[in-house]
Each structure stands twice: as C-alpha cells, then as structure tokens.
Amino acid sequence: MNISNTFTASLPKDKTKENYTRQVHNACYSFVLPTPAPNPKLIHINKKLQEQLGLENLAEKEITEFLSGNTILNDSNPFAMCYGGHQFGHWAGQLGDGRAINIAEINHNKLKTAIQLKGSGPTPYSRGADGYAVLRSSIREYLCSEAMYHLGIPTTRALSLSLSGKPIVRDVLYNGNPAEEPGAIVARTAESFVRFGSFELLAARQDKETLKKLVDFTIKEHYSELGEPSKETYIAFFQSVVSKTKIMIIHWQRVGFVHGVMNTDNMSILGLTIDYGPYGWLEEFNPSWTPNTTDSQHKRYRFGNQYPIALWNLTQLANALYPLIEEVDILKDILRGFKSNFNRDYIVMMLQKVGISVPQNEDGRLIEKLQQLLEKSQVDMTLFFRNLNLFETENIEKHIKKIKDDSYLDPKDFEANKLEWEAWLKEYAIRIESIENEKRIELINNTNPKYVLRNYMAQLAIKAAEKEDYSVLNELFEILKKPYDEQPEHGKWFAKRPKWADDKVGCSMLSCSS
C-alpha cells in the first residue's frame, strides 16, 4: 500500500498533541487517533471502491480493524481538520472535524485519496459533543453518497459501514427523549475534504500567512491546471470553485436532492456533495420543502433556495479569499456570472428532463408553467419526469391519467388541474413534433433517474438494520448503482411514497441529531 501524507506534510500543524477541546490557531489540523471500537463489525463494504483504492487484498479481519479505527497503518498520521463556518447565516467561529478523523491518504493508480472515519471518537474539535455517530445517520450517509455517485453527481464516497459495538445516546427530535442507539462508523473517501469554512476561519482570524499556505496547497494539489500561485491564479481558482459549485447544485435540482444543511462548513472546495445529514429527496414537487426539522421555521435550505444559498456561501468564500486578491470588482463580477450562468444552465437541464436537447426562445416559459403545475397538483417529481418516456402526442388523456396517479392530491382535487395539464401537454406535444421520439426517450431516461433514495426507503433499511437484518440495505445499495436502468424486478421502489410514511420521523422529518 502506498501511503502519502501530503496534507500534513505541507501545512502547518497544531503544536499541541493531547486530545481535548480547544481553539487551534495558525494551523490547518491536529494530530489525533481514533478511539478504538470495542466490538467492530463490518456491515457493508463497497467492493468496487475497495478495488479502486487497491485495498482488495486485505483480509476481512484486517479491513474491519482498519476501517473501524482499531489499527493505524504504519506510515500514516491520523488527523482532524480545523475549519470554521457560517451556520444558518451566522458566523459560528471554529468548528472543525468534531467526529471525523483522516486515517490515511492512499496513493493508487496515480490517484491520491483521503480516507476519513466518521464517528470514531472525539477530537480537539468535538466541542460539547461526543465524536460518535449512530447507525441510523451512518446508513443514510453510506447509501446516499453512493446513490449520488452513480447518479453522476460530484460527491464524497462511502467505502464501508461498521458497527462499533458502542451504544450511543441521542435525543432524535431534541424533545427530551434521549435513548441508546447502536454506534456506527462510516469510512468515506474524497480527493480532498477541505471546505469553504477552512479558508473562512483563517481569514476571520486575519491569519493571512496560513490562509495563503492553504490556498497555494489546494491549487497545487487539486487545481494544478491553474498554474503557479499568483493573484491571477487565485482569481482563476475562485472562478473554478464557483463553476464546480454551480454544476453540483444544477445536479441536485435535476434529481430532487435537498442537502438540508448548506452551512459553509459543509461546502466542499472541490464542489463535492459532502456531509450527508438531514438531507431528503423531493417527492411531491414542492420548492419550499426541507427535510430538516431544525430549519422548519425559516426553511433557509429548502429545495428552491439551494441556488441562492450557494451564491451566498460563495460570497463568504470570496470574502475569505479577498486578502490574497484585493480586487472587489473582479470577485463581484464572478459572482454575477454565477447567477447568469446558473439561470441559463438550469433551463438547459430542465429541458433535458423533458427530452429537449436544443433550447428555443419560448422554452423558459414552458418550463416555468410546468413547475407551477407540478407544485400545484403535488405530483411526484421522480415519477413525473421518468414517466414522460411514456408520453404519446396523440393520447394526451391517457397521460393526464398517469399524472393523476403520480399525484399526492386526492383524485377529486386533482380534477381542478386537468384543463391546465391538457393545455400544457398540448403545448409540449407541439414543441416535440420535430424531435425524433427515440431520441427524446433516450434523453429523458438518461436525465431522469428511475430510482432515487426516497426518504422512506432509507428508513426501511435503517429499521431492518437496527434488528441486524441488512437485506434492505444490501438491496438498495445494489439498485442505486444503476439508477437510470429499468430494473423491472425492482419496480416496487418506482412508486409514490406509501401513506404510512407521510408524517413519519425519519421519512419526511429529520433533525440534525446523528
């Protein structure tokens, strides 16, 4: 195994070695060891990723001990990163890896990959919390990061899921009902786990020297195509982060993913989806929906607000990079560009969802109207877009029936929207007249997944796993590897949310408790 330690070898370290909660200045990380798991049990391993990392030859026992933090590879020096962040719009100061520990940086096939354990005990950044994670939130991160990867969305990845053997106490709804839950550890991987907040904290502390070191390091390791550090390179770096972030958010809107906690400490500098907490998948098309009960009052991180929030977060990153750039107008121009590019690319993406590859003038209105109708008639987003592959221009009535079936409205109430659907489908039929039907269907099937990790699906996997039955987890893991394939044998998951899940904790309501 080829281990490198690029991050720790290149950047300033916290001089204190003891593991206690503290403020860490003039440093990017602290060395810290995982707390050994009393009785580790590997529940799932991502075989493909294991091979990609060159770890396939480790025996089951070795890999279990390694990915639960019980053995440390000879050449690696585990550490926790120091970062800050804006949480729900407010500067929160130092946060850091409170329960994530980087256990190794693997060099394989010319790729450097960092492996982090999430939930393997306290670090100097744990603040008042315990450093652990429960099975429920670990299953959610494990399944969702791989689902996103296979949907073609930039994301951190999940390598393994283990039980630690240590019970953890959590108050799921923060309502005074603490209970023990199984402790778990996810091993996750990424090219880098650096966040917007990593830069923000250094800027907030006016530590320009360390800020420059971190920016130069990030460019050299992850944006090397931009060239040697200089003011121009820093500007190009910001421009690239803006562009990657835009691409990520467009993907989220495409598949109906709501992150739920888009704080700047949860924004990856590589534009990866990171830190899967109280995320959710849109079922009825409702731009105001957020799965995060902690955010239920202001709904800051609702589905329809993810793009303005990304812009807000990028503005915080611009502020953090300012000391190295000192050109307000250029930074403002780039942020303005994000807005116009986003709007343009969003329409292109939405048109692809309805099978149109070449935009025309009136298309923006067609999409606008569709979104209004989907919202008003509470249609399931995944079912609606995928089922457009069944649309026949000469049989509009039949398709309206389909939409009615895919709506969460009472069938009687749906009737009030029928005429508008008819008008929209007629307009759509005219718009696609010149498009070859096979091409249209192909684009629809490649843009709109048939299988996504609906909130209740994750919950079923959790409920079974809490009884040591991992069959649902295994099944979902396999289905979500091919989200665009028909997989008729798994058709039961291509359906509306069942009634029992309507208001269930874990299905439509999630807190940050994890």
Active site amino acids: 265
In the complex with Mg ion, the residue whose CB is nearer, 129 or 390, is 129
Element (H, E) at 281: strand 280-281
Residue with tokens 């109207």: 369
Distance CA 51, CA 57 (A): 9
Residue span binding ligand AMP (CB under 6 A) among the ranges 25-33, 45-53, 257-265, 461-469? 257-265
The residue type found at 392 is E
In the complex with Mg ion, the residue whose CB is nearer, 266 or 292, is 266
The listed partner (Mg ion, ligand AMP, none) that binds 36, CB under 5 to 8 Å by sort, is none
Q: Identify which of 74, 67, 68, 121 has the alpha carbon closest to the alpha carbon of residue 98.
A: 121
In the complex with ligand AMP, the residue whose CB is nearer, 170 or 353, is 170
264 binds ligand AMP (CB under 6 A): no
Residue with tokens 């240590």: 166
486 binds ligand AMP (CB under 6 A): no
172 binds ligand AMP (CB under 6 A): no
User: Exposed/middle/buried for 242, CB within 10 Å: 0-12, 13-18, 19+?
Assistant: buried
Binders of ligand AMP among residues 115 to 134 (CB under 6 A) are: 125-126, 129-132
275 binds ligand AMP (CB under 6 A): yes
Residue span binding Mg ion (CB under 5 A) among the ranges 86-94, 263-271, 388-396, 447-455? 263-271
In the complex with Mg ion, the residue whose CB is nearer, 192 or 378, is 192
78 binds ligand AMP (CB under 6 A): no
Q: Which residues contact residue 263 at a Cβ distance below 8 angstroms, ignoring those fewer than 6 apart?
A: 85, 86, 87, 88, 92, 197
Residue span binding ligand AMP (CB under 6 A) among the ranges 5-13, 144-152, 258-266, 366-374? 258-266
Distance CA 197, CA 201 (A): 6
Shortest Å, Cβ 408 to ligand AMP: 30
Distance CA 82, CA 124 (A): 9
The listed partner (Mg ion, ligand AMP, none) that binds 99, CB under 5 to 8 Å by sort, is ligand AMP
Q: How many residues bind ligand AMP (CB under 6 A)?
A: 17
**One character per residue 141-170, x = contact with ligand AMP (rule: CB under 6 A):** ------------------------------
Coil, helix or strand at residue 229: coil
190 binds ligand AMP (CB under 6 A): no
Among 53, 55, 194, 261, binds ligand AMP (CB under 6 A): 261
Distance CA 419, CA 131 (A): 55
The residue type found at 469 is D
Among 40, 69, 96, 271, binds ligand AMP (CB under 6 A): 96
Assign 3-class secondary structure to 60-127.
Answer: HHHHHHHHCCCCCCCCCCCEEECCEEEECCEEEEECCCCCEEEEEEEEECCEEEEEEEECECCCCCCC
Residues of this chain that interact with Mg ion (CB under 5 A) are 266, 275
Q: Which residues bind ligand AMP (CB under 6 A)?
A: 95-99, 125-126, 129-132, 261, 263, 265-266, 275, 277
